[in-house]
Amino acid sequence: MRAVLNQLATEISKLSSYADTLVQLKPMEHDKLYLFEKIKANKKNISSSFEELTASSNSEKSVILLNGNLNHNYDIHDLMLNIKSKINRFSRLAIVLYNPYFAWAHSLLKKVGLKKTPLPTTYLTRTDLKNILDLSGYEIIQTKCVGVFPWNLFGFGRIINLVLEKIPFIKWFSQVYLITVRPIIVDQTKRSLSIVVPARNEYGNIRDIMERLIDLKLENETEVIFIEGNSTDDTWEEILNIAEEFKDNYSIQTFQQKGKGKGDAVRLGFEKSKGELLTILDADLSMPPELLPQFIDAFHYGHADFINGTRLVYPMEGQAMRPLNWLGNIFFAKLLSWILEVPLGDSLCGTKLFHRDDYARIIKWWDDFGEHDPFGDFQLLFPASVMALGIKDIPIRYRARTYGETNIDRFNHGSMLFKITLIGILRLKLGLPHGK
């Protein structure tokens, strides 16, 4: 069982290493805290009561460990409601659950004297758990199967599990399930918003962007950050003119990037931002600004902490996306869904929305990962999945640009994205070490 606990610690550490605190709630009497001690975290606590769970701030990121608690409980719904009343929306629960189809094995081991700890009283299928969590106001973000091969076998057990735990059907014969859960909590206030607009050779769109944003009449306190990048037309001059003309409507910041590429521009914009929520609006207006309220509302009502646009649901306008680009987008969306174990409709849509505190954690995670992509989409999606932010897609109707030409070099950029994807398979799917 130690080998299984070591695997669990490795998986939970991926989440807790980028959180503020790991808290184990009400350890079972027979729990020797081996798992708790093995998990990596910035700070660790053990809470013997629900009251001790109360977050010190509304933005504290806590991971609550429930190690077997649900298997020794007669009212899981009440347990989950009590936890929810004491945590914030940024908390995550790491639930260790015994495989219900091995109940007979636990009983047999107990009868022959090989199992010393008390038998679980409650065995939950994944369907049972989902139903209870739905009723209690939670969403399952990730389900990982741990310990198909429960023995260490001089280190070979880990390698065997790397394979077995990825095979459909076989993986469900694991000893335990690790379920990562987020509470669904509505924000009580409107959070301030920063809209980053990367612009290269987009002179003809700048005025339209501002006029359409003003027409939205967003209730959130809003700033617009234009990042101009090595344009050969009058984009920068137009940005400066617009910033002066509309300064009474929105707080507007303007910067010229020293680096190259959209990813670099977005990182600069986020660095200069002041809003609690961060989002991206492509200057080509292929994503209508009028849809931004849908992204804001999805976050506000607690549907997710990372909102991702998808362009592949509704029919596209005109020649908004060339056929080869369309195929590439589908390919990467399916591949990333498999790697990250999160259903993604579109991995390369420019518009995303999330909390600035989560962005600080994303930057730290990516520095550890040690790679970069030309657009910044993977740079956000990879850690958002690992940190269980909860990703929700919002369909948009992709518009054809009315000014200028695309800045995408599909073959060069595509090969760069494919390289990062392969690294993601090695490090995230197969568990090879991170690092530069």
- Sequential DSSP letters for 401-433: PSSS-----HHHHHHHHHHHHHHHIIIIIS---
Instruction: Looking at the structure, tell me whether residues 302 and 345 fall in a common domain.
Output: yes
Instruction: Looking at the structure, tell me whether residues 360 and 230 fall in a common domain.
Output: yes
Residue 436 inside a domain? The answer is no
β-bridge mates for residue 96, sequence order: 67, 178
Instruction: Looking at the structure, tell me whether residues 323 and 421 fall in a common domain.
Output: yes
Output the six-digit token pair for 432: 């090879």
pLDDT tens for each residue of 405-429 = 666 666 676 787 888 888 888 888 8
The pLDDT assigned to 420 comes to 85
The pLDDT assigned to 410 comes to 60
CA dist 282 → 71, 235, 296 (Å): 48, 14, 17
The pLDDT assigned to 2 comes to 82
pLDDT tens for each residue of 206-244 = 999 999 999 988 888 999 999 999 899 999 999 999 999
- Beta-sheet pairing, 193-199 with 222-228: parallel
Handedness of CA 404, 405, 408, 409 (dihedral sign): negative
| pLDDT exceeds 90 at position 197 | yes
Judged on CB neighbours under 10 Å (0-12, 13-18, 19+), 340 is buried
Residue 417 inside a domain? The answer is yes
Q: Among 183, 207, 234, identify where a domain stops.
A: 183
- Predicted confidence band of residue 182 (pLDDT cuts 50, 70, 90): very high
Give dist(CA 217, CA 82) in Å, integer: 39
CA dist 42 → 8, 18, 237, 305 (Å): 18, 8, 46, 22
The pLDDT assigned to 354 comes to 97
- Predicted confidence band of residue 378 (pLDDT cuts 50, 70, 90): confident
- Predicted confidence band of residue 133 (pLDDT cuts 50, 70, 90): very high
Average pLDDT over residues 257-285: 93
Residue 239 inside a domain? The answer is yes
CATH number of the domain to which 100 belongs: 3.40.50.150
Range of the domain at 229: 193-429
Give dist(CA 26, CA 53) in Å, integer: 11
Total domains present in the chain: 2
Give dist(CA 329, CA 245) in Å, integer: 38
Instruction: Looking at the structure, tell me whether residues 90 and 9 fall in a common domain.
Output: yes
**Secondary element (H or E) of residue 290:** none
CATH number of the domain to which 244 belongs: 3.90.550.10
Residue 174 inside a domain? The answer is yes
Residue 435 inside a domain? The answer is no
Residue 188 inside a domain? The answer is no
Residue 393 inside a domain? The answer is yes
Percent of residues, the chain, with pLDDT higher than 90: 59
The pLDDT assigned to 38 comes to 96
Which has more pLDDT, 194 or 412?
Answer: 194
pLDDT tens for each residue of 82-127 = 999 999 999 999 999 999 999 988 889 888 988 888 899 999 999 9
Average pLDDT over residues 6-14: 93
Instruction: Looking at the structure, tell me whether residues 213 and 359 fall in a common domain.
Output: yes
Instruction: Looking at the structure, tell me whether residues 157 and 210 fall in a common domain.
Output: no
Instruction: Looking at the structure, tell me whether residues 355 and 211 fall in a common domain.
Output: yes
Give dist(CA 163, CA 267) in Å, integer: 36
pLDDT tens for each residue of 310-330 = 988 888 777 667 777 788 889
- Predicted confidence band of residue 371 (pLDDT cuts 50, 70, 90): low
Instruction: Looking at the structure, tell me whether residues 8 and 68 fall in a common domain.
Output: yes
The pLDDT assigned to 436 comes to 45
97 phi/psi in degrees, rounded to 5 = -130, 130
Q: Among 152, 183, 214, identify where a domain stops.
A: 183
The pLDDT assigned to 424 comes to 84
Q: Among 121, 155, 183, identify where a domain stops.
A: 183
The pLDDT assigned to 55 comes to 54
Output the six-digit token pair for 147: 């310990």
Instruction: Looking at the structure, tell me whether residues 353 and 315 fall in a common domain.
Output: yes
Average pLDDT over residues 253-265: 91
Instruction: Looking at the structure, tell me whether residues 25 and 164 fall in a common domain.
Output: yes
Residue 170 inside a domain? The answer is yes
The pLDDT assigned to 166 comes to 79
- Predicted confidence band of residue 374 (pLDDT cuts 50, 70, 90): low
| pLDDT exceeds 70 at position 56 | no
352 phi/psi in degrees, rounded to 5 = -140, 160
Instruction: Looking at the structure, tell me whether residues 172 and 222 fall in a common domain.
Output: no
Instruction: Looking at the structure, tell me whether residues 164 and 228 fall in a common domain.
Output: no
Give dist(CA 98, CA 95) in Å, integer: 10
The pLDDT assigned to 162 comes to 78
**Secondary element (H or E) of residue 363:** helix 356-369
Give dist(CA 171, CA 165) in Å, integer: 4
The pLDDT assigned to 290 comes to 94
Give dist(CA 274, CA 77) in Å, integer: 39
Q: What is the mean pLDDT of the chain?
A: 89
